[in-house]
A = this chain, B = another copy of it.
């Protein structure tokens, strides 16, 4: 086994408490002593024992990212952002798939195991999980919750405004029959984006046709099948707004399958601006949300709560933008 603090202390000729002080970069150690200890630690290839440290400190250096459907490309960016933040701040990221946990997260959340938890949709809106976390007094942060509350900090973009803007953009292009592929209704973001879509139509004096609204699953195949349904309508839409890019990619595929051209015959836009958006053909016009930033900021807010559980939970709204690539165009039909 590798060396302990006591080994280092003996080798450096000081007490093990002094070694501890050096290891934690505390003040009040003479420079000469510090050097002696550091040399001894290097020589012995000393690595601190995290379990002992965490036990004594009643803390942890682990942050959990709880996800439910690991194959969403959305998650990739969140994870990267969180991972980078953790690296820079002395934490490690534990990624846990709640859907693979039949009987809940009890062992993951065992006392002191996690310093904090990052929740993404749909868990951001799951009252069950949040109650568990509060019961165990584990700090957590919510990414893209439907609405902010005072239980935990949150980071989001203004989904309603973003969806409204994109819809208005389509209206400006001359589209009046705009299909909407929503996410699952248990996602707060789905509801917010739907609301933004409705806002735009109402503001523009257009009627909302419920048949133009199709609930997808944030997945590629669900984008295909919703699109198929929309095209089978007696009066199909001239533009389709998918609530994420995976579904937009599915929509484009289904459109092509039917021999319909994008964007010449139909406009298709997405949401998120993940990797697939710039990779498919035509490159997707979409709503960009700064997912990596959101994750990093969420981690930062979480840290504040880890440090002081009484601190006021902060709520950050990050800016979004419309990235208009090549999958949109003016409405051909009148």
Contact = CB atoms under 8 A, between A and B. Distances in A.
Total copies of this chain within the assembly: 2
A100 B84 contact: yes
Interface in A8-57: 45, 47-52, 54-55
23 contacts: A1-B58, A2-B111, A47-B109, A49-B55, A49-B111, A49-B112, A50-B111, A50-B113, A70-B79, A70-B83, A80-B97, A83-B95, A84-B100, A87-B100, A90-B107, A92-B94, A92-B96, A92-B108, A93-B95, A94-B95, A253-B279, A276-B276, A281-B281
Nearest to A111: B47
Interface string A302-322: 000000000000000000000
A90 B113 CA distance: 13
Interface of A: 1-2, 45, 47-52, 54-55, 58, 60, 62, 64, 70-71, 76, 79-80, 83-84, 87-88, 90, 92-97, 100-101, 106-113, 135-137, 220, 249-250, 252-253, 256, 275-276, 279-281
A275 B108 CA distance: 29
Contacts of A47: 106, 109-111, 136
Cβ-closest 5 pairs across A and B: A51-B55, A51-B54, A47-B111, A87-B100, A47-B110
Summarize A's interface: helix, strand, loop or mixed: mixed
B112 A83 contact: no
Contacts of A51: 50-52, 54-55, 60, 112-113
Given A70-B80, A84-B97, A94-B62, A49 B110 contact: yes
A261 to B, nearest CB: 12
A124 to B, nearest CB: 20
B275 A71 contact: yes
A70 B54 CA distance: 28
A2 B136 contact: yes
Contacts of A100: 83-84, 87-88
Contacts of A79: 70, 95
Nearest to A101: B87
B135 A45 contact: yes
A110 to B, nearest CB: 4
A136 B50 CA distance: 14
